[in-house]
Amino acid sequence: MGDFSFRKLIFAFVIVTLVWASSIETCNARRGGKHWRQSRGTLSSLYKKKGKNDHGHKKQKSKQEQQQQQPLPTPEEPLAPPPKGSKFNVLDYGAKGDGHSDDTKAFQGAWADACKVEASTMIVPSGYEFLVGPISFSGPYCQRNILFQLDGTIIAPINANAWGKGLLQWLEFTKLVGLTIKGKGTIDGRGSVWWTKSILDDPIDNEEQLVVSSYNTTLTQNPQVSSSSLVGKMPSIKPTALRFYGSFNVTVTGITIQNSPQCHLKFDNCDGVLVYSFSVASPGDSPNTDGIHLQNSKNVLIHTTDLACGDDCISIQTGCTNVFVRDVNCGPGHGISIGSLGKDGTSACVSNITVRNINMHNTMTGVRIKTWQGGSGSVQGVLFSNIQVSEVEFPIMIDQYYCDHSTCKNHTSAVAVSNIAYENIRGTYTVKPVHVSCSDNKPCRDVRLTDIELKPVSKGYHMYEPFCWQAFGELYAPTIPEIDCIQQGAPSSSLDPDEAGCAA
């Protein structure tokens, strides 16, 4: 190899090195810029021209300057992540909060940035009313422990165009870990435009359908959200106001959800749910407006909550286990229900549910278990304790013949119901104090009634005596009124609940 070609080689090497080094620099500079923006916590600089102010992020500046003085990381080091706990205010992303402008994009933008930062806060400030269309705060690639600080009001579009052919939810949080929604804000579904025409359909009892089709419902178009006048006919599928799907350790506290078109707050496939100091407010005659709906969710605690709605205050559906509900006011509404379960021959499994310290006022049922004929699976390990009822139509109900229309086919199979305790259930009823109607083939087992004191309040209806059918267990007398229809011991047909296909 001659001297000349050796020099050429050296030269080439130097060039390659320089190019490589400069590309690293560019990369760092770009990342650095992004980092700088995120550490400001906002995109406020972008919006300053429009006269937005800095929304109080100046405090972070000195810290941020320190960070900028530090040398850039060497190529081998991982790039510094944006600072934990950054704040992202929807106003800095162009939200108007005037109740008329469409703020959906601003919410999407703020979420996109909050999502990237562990323990970040997305701020929806007080004193504003944000009109937001259907939106999915989708989390499979988001960091943990994001706080959605909701102090303002979020309102739903009442323009039919915004809902396409119909969506199952309005605001959705999916696949998140440690997400918290907190604040003194309100989510208002403005449901009255949905309630008027469809008193007869009952989508709540079509839950199986709702789960299957939940993925292809995100709007990709740019629907017209912001017309404030009612345009067009609302779709027949009514959205849940706020839904969590496939998430771990989620918390909802402080906020109110009102006037949802359908269910207010729903958790599907979640593990670790905490709801407290929370309210639902909707009229008693709003159709299918469950308060809190749980499905395929476990390790759930709901407490210190006021629920007023047109359907079940709390509905516990298939796949739920380890659910604890305490200190809840319910009414108007349909009470706290397990089910309906086993529709269309499906299998349902619900276990370890505790409901205690509940006040029910003016509800249809009090504490209830409802299953369809023809289902399979089981409900086992339920305690209803300390339930104060006032003018409740049916305070205690187990119904294994649930049917939401006038007649349903008779079937022999049923969701097995066992180990159900009612203790300290007191107050007034308006129709029938106890209705326990169990399957001929799978009688209810181990139903225990203790400290029952229910007195009639006549509202002009016909009053009924306690009713039981195929109900086995224990009655700890005396009760008011006298209940003599619970059969002592176990039914002759022996059923191992584990046979029903639910893991113990």
Ligand X SMILES: *[C@@H]1O[C@H](CO)[C@@H](O)[C@H](O)[C@H]1NC(C)=O
Question: Which of the residues are catalytic?
Answer: 334
The amino acid that residue 368 corresponds to is R
Q: Pick the binder of ligand X from 108, 209, 227, 352 (CB under 6 A).
A: 352
How near is the Cβ of 193 to ligand X at its closest, in Å?
22
Q: Report the nearest approach of ligand X to the CB of residue 423 (Å).
A: 16
Of the pair 162, 309, the CB lying nearest ligand X is at 162
Q: Is 500 exposed, middle or buried (0-12, 13-18, 19+ CB in 10 A)?
A: buried
Q: Give the number of residues in contact with ligand X, rule: CB under 6 A.
A: 13
Residues 18-37 as x/- pattern, contact with ligand X by CB under 6 A: --------------------
Q: Which of 69, 221, 407, 488 binds ligand X (CB under 6 A)?
A: 407
Binding mask 232-261 for ligand X (x = CB under 6 A): ----------------xx------------
In this complex, which beta carbon is closest to ligand X, that of residue 354 or of residue 441?
354
With contacts defined by CB under 6 A, name the span among 116-124, 167-175, 198-206, 403-411 that binds ligand X. Answer: 403-411
Preceding amide of 478 cis, omega within 30: yes
Q: For ligand X, which is the closer residue by CB, 79 or 301? A: 301
List binders of ligand X among 177-236 (CB under 6 A): 177, 213, 216
Please pick, from the candidates 410, 458, 492, 494, the single residue that binds ligand X as defined by CB under 6 A: 410
Q: Which is nearer to ligand X, 90 or 338 (CB)?
A: 338
* Helices first, then strands: H and E counts in the chain: 6, 30
| Burial class of 213 by CB neighbour count within 10 A (0 to 12, 13 to 18, 19+) | exposed
Q: How buried is 459 (Cβ within 10 angstroms: 0-12 exposed, 13-18 middle, 19+ buried)?
A: exposed
Closest distance between ligand X and the C-beta of residue 354, in Å?
5
Find the shortest distance in angstroms from Cβ 293 to ligand X: 18
Write the DSSP string, 328-364. EEE-SBS-EEEEEE-GGG-EEEEEEEEEEEEEEESBS
Gap between the Cα atoms of 173 and 298, Å rounded: 17
Smallest gap, in angstroms, from Cβ of residue 334 to ligand X? 23
CA 487 – CA 237 distance, rounded (Å): 44
Q: Which is nearer to ligand X, 324 or 467 (CB)?
A: 324
Rounded Cα distance, 280 and 302, in Å: 13
Q: How far is the CB of 321 from ligand X (least distance, A)?
A: 7
Which ranges of 431-494 does DSSP label H, i.e. alpha helix?
A: none
Q: Return the range that interacts with ligand X (CB under 6 A); candidates 90-98, 131-139, 404-412, 464-472.
A: 404-412
Nearer to ligand X, 36 or 248 (CB): 248
Residue 239 CB, nearest approach to ligand X (Å): 14
3-class DSSP assignment, residue 124: strand
Q: Which residue is nearest to ligand X (CB)?
A: 324
Query: How is residue 480 annotated by DSSP?
Result: B
The whole-angstrom separation of Cα 392 and Cα 321 is 27
Could you tell me if 415 and 377 are in contact, meaning their C-beta atoms sit under 8 angstroms apart? yes
Among 60, 322, 329, 346, binds ligand X (CB under 6 A): 322
Cα Rg of the chain, angstroms: 28
Should residue 347 be labelled a site residue for ligand X when binding is judged by CB under 6 A?
Answer: no
Query: In whole angstroms, what separates CA 350 from the centre of its chain?
Result: 18
Smallest gap from Cβ 274 to ligand X, in A, equals 10
Stretch of residues binding ligand X (CB under 6 A), selected from 219-227, 289-297, 304-312, 406-414: 406-414
Query: How far apart, in whole angstroms, are the C-alpha atoms of residue 333 and residue 315?
Result: 11
| Contacting residue, 31, 211, 276, 324, with ligand X by CB under 6 A | 324
Dmax (CA) for the chain in angstroms is 113
DSSP code of residue 430: S
* H/E stretch holding 232: none
- List of residues contacting ligand X (CB under 6 A): 177, 213, 216, 248-249, 272, 322, 324, 352, 354, 407, 409-410
